[in-house]
Amino acid sequence: MLLLTTALLCISVSASPPATYTNPLINQRADPHITKHTDGFYYFTATVPEFDKVILRRATTISGLSSAPETTIWRRKSSGVGSNQVWAPELHYINNKWYIYVALGVANEWRIRAAVLEGTGANPLTATWVERGLVQTNWDTFSLDMTTFVSPNGTRYFVWAQQEPSRTDENSSLLIAAMGSNPWSIRGPAVTISRPTLSWERIGYKVNEGAAVIIRNNKIFLTYSAAATDANYCMGLLTANANADLLNPASWTKSQTPIFVSNADTNQWGPGHNSFTVSEDGSSDVMVFHDRGYKNINGDPLNDPNRRTRVQKLYWKPDGTPDFGIPVADGITPVRLRSAISTGGAGTNGAVYMRFLTSATSGVGSGTGAVSLAETQFRLVSPGLSGGQGTVSLESAVRPGWFLRRYSGNLLRWEARVNSGTWNTEASFLQRDGLLVAEGQEKGVSFEAVDRTGNFVSFGADGRSLTLVNGGQEVQRATFYLE
């Protein structure tokens, strides 16, 4: 059996509370877009497998969207624009009206263009919708996946995917333009800010599409998707300074490797076409995306209906850039466990995280190379493997099926699950309020061993091992904060 230890990861961070959800959120809904409006509702739209309508849902929580009733606000037409594909709608609120940007096709033709619907009314599910037509861009060529955002200087921009006439061997590039006199027009010629020139962007199809923008830490981060819509589908990242000239292609820096890809360990394939929203308390960023739960597809991936909507918390690195991690396994999303042990004095934002380590000499959990976000994420499985009320088991996010277990005396390590009564008990804990209670500090949690009353999970004195300690003596070491 592969033996495991646990280590502390010390980094400087800006912490935010956990944002936990259960995946998949909505089955058979691709290209998902979730936005939280000022009325307190989350609004959801996405591509349906039939490619024949625009749907909306709303709920007061992200999880509530899973079972929220669905309203069709626009249907495929019998002829002309909108008589074939209906792809990737996005809902935005601009100048006191609702707008849906959606790619529409024409029956019996390969003619897909970005179009706009306008809705009047407080609730977009019951609003009066009218067609505002196609967005007139530089060229009358294949275009789709239009999104919009407002820069810190107050300018509203559109970003979309379009085939450039001079690059017909490629499917689509990313273009940007400022909004024109209304939300269905652009001002001036658009400029190209990204083309599918990297090898991972050109697998199956040569694609840059599905842009989404999040603005944090004086930077504009623009994600996009690339390659064919099978297991090769993945996400890339463009970055610009918040005060830069966004219409100058030189303002954008492109990551040379994908930032979100398929993961065999978690069985998530082809993650992409994302959007961003915020958690219910507004304190955490949440990424919304689609993927599939299997790798192999028969025929054209677009004809496979099982892309499903997923959500997971977006984390941030100490340098202020986003950390997308991995597409986590189905079920409840994981959290990070930050120890109450401080690595710095007053006024610092030092943090100590539990980390998944194994005795392997290379690869995940080996302790070599840069630590990944997923190595510091763990799922709190409730009830725990022992099945007792109030119990939890801690499962690795990077290696699903590996749990924290008391294997000898008070010593703990991560092991692949062995489904026996004794093993399950040794891998189960009672989640308690944090033993460390200090005025003005956040509320923590502590984990008491099911089979050793009064003994709690703690970091050892070496800063690497995990052990059980007497909760009355080591309250700080036995207290964690969830992120």
**C-alpha triplet 57, 61, 64: angle, nearest 5°:** 55
**C-alpha triplet 388, 392, 393: angle, nearest 5°:** 115
Alpha carbon of residue 374 to chain centroid = 13
Phi-psi category of residue 277: left, alpha or beta, with phi > 0 → left and psi -120 to 50 → alpha: beta
**C-alpha triplet 310, 316, 317: angle, nearest 5°:** 135
- What is the Cβ-side half-sphere exposure of residue 480, based on CA atoms within 13 angstroms? 24
- Enumerate the active-site residues: 31, 209
Alpha carbon of residue 368 to chain centroid = 26
Nearest C-alpha neighbor of 174 from the set 204, 211, 216: 211
What are the distances in angstroms from CA 196 to CA 163, 201, 205, 219, 311?
A: 11, 5, 9, 23, 26
Is the sign of the CA dihedral 66, 71, 77, 81 positive or negative?
A: negative
Q: What is the DSSP string of 100-122?
A: EEEEEEETTS---EEEEEEEESS
**C-alpha triplet 60, 66, 68: angle, nearest 5°:** 60
Q: Is 224 exposed, middle or buried (0-12, 13-18, 19+ CB in 10 A)?
A: buried
Give me the amino acid identity at 319: D
Please tell me what DSSP assigns to residue 442. Answer: P
**C-alpha triplet 143, 148, 149: angle, nearest 5°:** 150
8 A C-beta contact, residue 224 and residue 200? no
